[in-house]
Chains A and B, each alone.
Chain A
Amino acid sequence: MTPSRPSPSSTGTRFARQWLTGSSLIVTMAVMILVLLVLLALFADVVAPYDPLKQNLMAALQWPSSRHWLGTDDLGRDVLSRLIHGCRIAVIAAAEGTAIAVLLGVPLGLFIGYRGGWWDWIVMRMVEAIVSIPGIMVAIVIIALLGPGLHKAMIALGILYSTSFLRLARGVVLAEREEVYVRSARVIGASDSRILLRHIVPNIAPPLIVQITLTVGAVLLSEAGLSFIGLGVQPPDASWGTMLNSAAAFMDLNWFLAIPPGIAIILTVLAVNLIGDVIRDGIGRGIAAEPRADVAAARSAAVEPTAATEAAALPRVENEVLRVENLQVVVGTGVGVPIITDLSFGIARGETLGLVGESGSGKTMTGLAILRLMGGGLRTTHGSITLDGRDLRSLSDRQMEQVRGNAVSMVFQDPTTSLNPAFTVGNQIAEVLRAKQGLSRAQAWSRTVELLDRVGIPRPEERARAYPHELSGGMAQRVAIARALSCNPSLLIADEPTTALDVTVQQEILDLFRDLQDEFGMAILFVTHDLAVAADICDRIAVMYAGEMVETAKVDALFSSPRHPYTRGLLAAMPHASDRNPPLPTIRGNVPRPGAWPAGCRFSNRCDFRTARCEQRIPLTGRDRLVRCVRADELALEAAQ
């Protein structure tokens, strides 16, 4: 017997459902197995070829034959007939055990949940005590009290499994009683029982159904186990458990006896569990249809962009640390859906390039593409990423591991989630120093303390021993910066490093970036959606929209005379402290999703200046500043007037 009380936390079953029911064939089979089970239970007398109890010692322990399809047992009884009659016992057992568990557990759980106080305390302590005893032992003790037999064993299992229903009902009541509508119902004078019936019972239904399916499977396994050890169904009655009990004694003479009842149990439990998984998933997700990746891929295949050679437009910079040319990133198999197209830019030593744009414009993805850490299904298909003169795209994964940390590193948006909660912050910095620079434990630790001190953490030796959750957001981000700079990389990618922080802390962190850049001289790729932050920290700004760069310029030039309508929109949407009264203008609409980009200028469907010429692909043009707009010149003129 597997006295596995239904565990409420088997989240892994979602995947089981996804795969096993991806073709709904298997669900159909599961349903059919259960229907067959119930039909056999109902019509066992008609269907079974023999009387399941009729003995024939002359024909004992026979192997399968045309007379006895599944052979005969030690008393010469027909195995097939006993198996079919066993269906009846299985159905009765599952129904009885589960019903008792529900009828006992739910009302009691509702009651103690609603009453609270001593009732709740005493019952819950008893439940805890029962749960701490192995389930089969509980059942055995109850059977000791009641005596063996199918119905008595089911009462025992019912009591055992009622604890999970009790806890479930109590939990729902505790959650619901604090809901506003229940409280207001009480205020307007609705009686306790009415509140319970009208408001709480409907909310209990979904988890109850899930718990029932879990319990049915568990009861079936437990009943078989109890019958197997002789405390459930008593001989000569045919249950799958008792059949296995007699089979066990004759394994060396006829092992086949164990096969039919075993398969019957497995198939039934499997069918119940699978259907339970489907129900649980349906309820869990509200039966919401998820967008399917393959549909998106099919839709976007038409918008395959031209890999135009625009690298000529990218001016060479002195002391260039990073140079990205014609980079293209796609998601999905085959041609894939483009996420980033024709992206080219360079950053010099000691320079900070801001990558700005709305969510979904591809700026974070650009940073991850440089590190080759984009994650599942994403890959670069064209272009080059040159860091310190080395083309990163041509490196092996192992070589890339060397580059990360040593030559390029990254600071993430949320410092509290980008540090591992299980280790001290000092451990996480020292780890990098030991792994990347081969320092000894002691060297790494003293260097860690130095670094923490350098990024402005007071009492660094003490803080190094703190866990991330013990630090404030600002302190945690300083730790993350210290770790990123621990191996003195030539390029630092900062992905919205101040967005998750308190406004007062933001400025301190920006100042820290500036100081550290003065000292270490690294190039910074600063990804942000906040133009005020970009204006503060960046030397140059590249504006991204729908996976491509639409404008790039020195920070002053961009702010004083934006040339792309999108840049103008972004600037106009920036709040200024001085003019608070007029409503902030916004850019209408949203960034189109990858695969749904307009064929020509990707901004055209949101642009106030669109013309017929915007229907075709627009190249980046210009010399010291670049813009991707056919009307850039006339718009600049307009702005100047």
Chain B
Amino acid sequence: MIRLIVQRLLALVPLLFIVSVLTFSFTSLLPSDPVDLIVGDTATQEQYEIVRERLGMNQPIVVRYVQWLGRAVQGDLGTSFFNSVSVTGAVMQRLPVTLSLTAVSALIAIVVGVAAGMAAALRPRSWIDRFATLGATFGQAIPNFWFGLILVAVFAVNLRWFPATGFTALSASPWDWLRSVILPSIALGTSSSAAIARQVRSAMVGVLQQDYIRAARAQGLSARRVLIKHALTNAMVPVVAVLSFQITVLLGGALVVEQVFAINGLGTLAIGAVRQQDIPMIQGIVLVMVALVVVVQLATDIVYGLLNPKARPS
């Protein structure tokens, strides 16, 4: 198991490196001159040069990249071009918000998706199966931000069960935190739960036809035990494989759903940075998101190895 983890970790280093090169060179292609944006039209050439040197823009791109990377690995992602705040600080301040949405929606997607997929697989062609399949088909066609609007209209504006906007930190009040993330997380998790339900259903139907299921029943093991231990463990193997992809999707989706609920997460930060062409901020956000994705991938790889002994390096 430790070998598997080390192997995966090593494989992730080049990925992070390539992503950093890509984002750095790509954002450096931005059409506007950041120095111009900062100093404004009325600045003198002298002022321009001072700012240009302060930003390090007078150096070649390779040098700038190496400097940026050197600071990035130490946790310093640079300074915003606009309000001189530290990018690391700004991102870290918003990160818990986006992470809350991603984590809660992933939990909802997994619980609902696995339950619905299992229920459908156990009784193929029953009304439960049809209902779940219909739900999954719709779930994948509903835009998450629209679903968010509807949830706000019904549960926040009309029924007043939940706040319509805003976010409460988990550390401030766990109860208010839950109330503030539950609607956005449902909006966000629905399409993923639909995708997971489909995957669970097809994996489960396939596993239930396997010889080892019938063989386990032939030894007199209870239907429940065979289902939970023998079938689900195997059915989760392909599901875990799509899970890391789904969590990446949720992380991206959170950026949009935040807008519906006026939550100040990474999405608001990213959209603002794009509008202002705030290069260090964009670079920092992308890098942090990729780091998150990488952690998720690592975690799912480990779970995959636990579930599937054939995937472990021997």
Q: Give the Cβ gap from B290 to chain A, nearest Cβ, in Å.
A: 6
In the bound complex, CA of A484 to CA of B142 (Å): 50
Q: Is the CB of A248 within 8 A of B260?
A: yes
- Chain B residues near A24 (CB-CB < 8 A): none
The verdict on B150 contacting chain A, using a C-beta distance below 8 Å, is yes
In the bound complex, CA of A274 to CA of B130 (Å): 15
Binds A, one of B48-56, B172-180, B245-253: B245-253
Binds A, one of B58-66, B80-88, B196-204: B196-204
A and B contact pairs by CB, cutoff 8 A, 24 listed = A7-B242, A9-B199, A15-B129, A16-B136, A129-B22, A132-B297, A141-B26, A141-B282, A143-B274, A217-B141, A228-B145, A248-B259, A251-B149, A251-B153, A273-B141, A274-B137, A397-B223, A401-B222, A404-B218, A419-B212, A423-B233, A435-B225, A480-B215, A484-B219
Q: Give the Cβ gap from B209 to chain A, nearest Cβ, in Å.
A: 8
Main secondary structure of the interface of B (DSSP, over half): helix
Q: Is the CB of A270 within 8 A of B215?
A: no
Closest residue on chain B to residue A400 by CB atoms: B220
The verdict on B216 contacting chain A, using a C-beta distance below 8 Å, is yes
Q: Give the Cβ gap from A466 to chain B, nearest Cβ, in Å.
A: 10
Mark each residue of chain B from 15 to 29: 1 if its CB lies under 8 Å from any CB of chain A, else 0: 100110011001101
In the bound complex, CA of A613 to CA of B141 (Å): 65
The verdict on B9 contacting chain A, using a C-beta distance below 8 Å, is no
Q: Give the Cβ gap from B84 to chain A, nearest Cβ, in Å.
A: 20
Mark each residue of chain A from 226 to 245: 1 if its CB lies under 8 Å from any CB of chain B, else 0: 00111100000000000010
Where the two chains meet, the residues of A that have a C-beta atom closer than 8 Å to any C-beta of B are 1-5, 7, 9-16, 19-20, 125-126, 128-130, 132-137, 140-141, 143-145, 147, 217, 221, 224-225, 228-231, 244, 247-248, 251-252, 255, 258, 261-262, 265-266, 269-270, 273-274, 368, 371, 373, 375-376, 397, 401-406, 409-410, 412-414, 417-423, 428, 431-432, 435-436, 467, 469, 480, 483-484, 486-487
In the bound complex, CA of A198 to CA of B272 (Å): 50
The 8 A-B pairs at the shortest CB distance, nearest first, are namely A405-B220, A134-B252, A12-B198, A404-B220, A269-B141, A418-B215, A410-B218, A136-B252
The verdict on B271 contacting chain A, using a C-beta distance below 8 Å, is yes
Among B202, B219, B252, which residue has the most Cβ atoms of chain A within 10 A? B219
In the bound complex, CA of A144 to CA of B32 (Å): 10
Closest residue on chain A to residue B273 by CB atoms: A144
Q: Is the CB of A128 within 8 A of B220?
A: no
- Chain B residues near A467 (CB-CB < 8 A): 309-310
Mark each residue of chain B from 207 to 251: 1 if its CB lies under 8 Å from any CB of chain A, else 0: 000111011111111110100011001100110001001001101
The verdict on B100 contacting chain A, using a C-beta distance below 8 Å, is no
- Chain B residues near A270 (CB-CB < 8 A): 137-138, 141
- Chain B residues near A228 (CB-CB < 8 A): 143, 145, 256, 259
Closest residue on chain A to residue B201 by CB atoms: A12
Closest residue on chain A to residue B293 by CB atoms: A132
Among A373, A422, A487, which residue has the most Cβ atoms of chain B within 10 A? A422
- Chain A residues near B152 (CB-CB < 8 A): 251
- Chain B residues near A128 (CB-CB < 8 A): 15, 18
Q: Give the Cβ gap from B26 to chain A, nearest Cβ, in Å.
A: 6
Q: Is the CB of A133 within 8 A of B290?
A: yes
Q: Is the CB of A145 within 8 A of B215?
A: no
Q: Is the CB of A144 within 8 A of B30?
A: yes
A375 with B282: in contact, given A20-B134, A145-B30, A231-B274 (CB under 8 Å)? Answer: no
In the bound complex, CA of A99 to CA of B308 (Å): 39
Q: Is the CB of B290 within 8 A of A132?
A: yes
- Chain B residues near A140 (CB-CB < 8 A): 255, 270-271, 274
- Chain A residues near B260 (CB-CB < 8 A): 248
In the bound complex, CA of A134 to CA of B229 (Å): 34
- Chain A residues near B237 (CB-CB < 8 A): 422
Q: Is the CB of B253 within 8 A of A136?
A: yes
In the bound complex, CA of A436 to CA of B222 (Å): 10
Q: Is the CB of A405 within 8 A of B221?
A: yes
Among B22, B140, B197, B286, which residue has the most Cβ atoms of chain A within 10 A? B140
Mark each residue of chain B from 163 to 174: 1 if its CB lies under 8 Å from any CB of chain A, else 0: 010000000000
A4 with B195: in contact, given A130-B22, A229-B256, A266-B142 (CB under 8 Å)? Answer: yes
The verdict on B14 contacting chain A, using a C-beta distance below 8 Å, is yes
- Chain B residues near A255 (CB-CB < 8 A): 153, 157
The verdict on B144 contacting chain A, using a C-beta distance below 8 Å, is yes
The verdict on B133 contacting chain A, using a C-beta distance below 8 Å, is yes
In the bound complex, CA of A20 to CA of B214 (Å): 31
Task: Choose from A3, A20, A412 the contact partner of B137 (Cβ within 8 Å).
Answer: A20
Q: Is the CB of B215 within 8 A of A129?
A: no
- Chain B residues near A3 (CB-CB < 8 A): 249, 252-253
Q: Is the CB of B218 within 8 A of A373?
A: yes
Task: Choose from A1, A16, A397, A422 the contact partner of B307 (Cβ within 8 Å).
Answer: A422
Q: Is the CB of A137 within 8 A of B289?
A: yes
Task: Choose from A4, A15, A130, A423 the contact partner of B201 (Cβ within 8 Å).
Answer: A15
Q: Is the CB of B195 within 8 A of A10?
A: yes
In the bound complex, CA of A412 to CA of B215 (Å): 7
Q: Is the CB of B136 within 8 A of A4?
A: no
Q: Is the CB of A145 within 8 A of B137?
A: no
Q: Is the CB of A19 within 8 A of B286?
A: no
In the bound complex, CA of A12 to CA of B201 (Å): 7
Task: Choose from A5, A231, A417, A432 the contact partner of B220 (Cβ within 8 Å).
Answer: A432
Q: Is the CB of B145 within 8 A of A1?
A: yes
